Amino acid sequence: MVHEHGDSPYGDELRTLAAEISQDRQALLRLLADLGVSVKRYKLYGAWLGEKVGRVKPNGRLLRRSGLSLLVELEALRLGTQGKALLWRALLAAAPQDARLDRGRLDQLLHRARQQSETLDSLHDRAAAGLLSAPPRGATSVTATGKETPS
């Protein structure tokens, strides 16, 4: 998304989110290693492939992005952030019984996931307002006299 929207009004926030998501992924990988859980490479490749397949859509625009692509992508990121927050909450619940789980670090990760959700909600609202309030390109509007004019 940063590549597509880095120069947009959303660019700074998207760059920050991308950096934080990368840090969260590294924290998860360290946590898995601490817990002795092996990372299944095929699942990583499957997630990557799923993301690529998710971009293919029958919207009549194989080479161009749909106008609503940004909203769909923000919604997908929001779902991922919610899932991440639920993971951190579950690990926090288990922390009192497992000394390998650092409660302070999990609290930080959960707080950051909540902040990311708020940021994504704000981006989504701004993008929706911008995309859905403007008439589509090439559309006509009707003036008070009933005459159609291009928008």
| pLDDT tens column, 32-56 | 999 999 887 776 677 667 666 665 6
Is residue 70 a contact partner of residue 5, using CB atoms and an 8 Å limit?
A: yes
Distance (Å, rounded) from C-alpha 4 to C-alpha 74?
A: 13
Q: Is pTM beyond 0.85 here? A: no
| Lowest mean pLDDT across 8-22, 38-52, 95-109 | 38-52
Nearest by Cα to 21 from 76, 71, 77, 72: 77
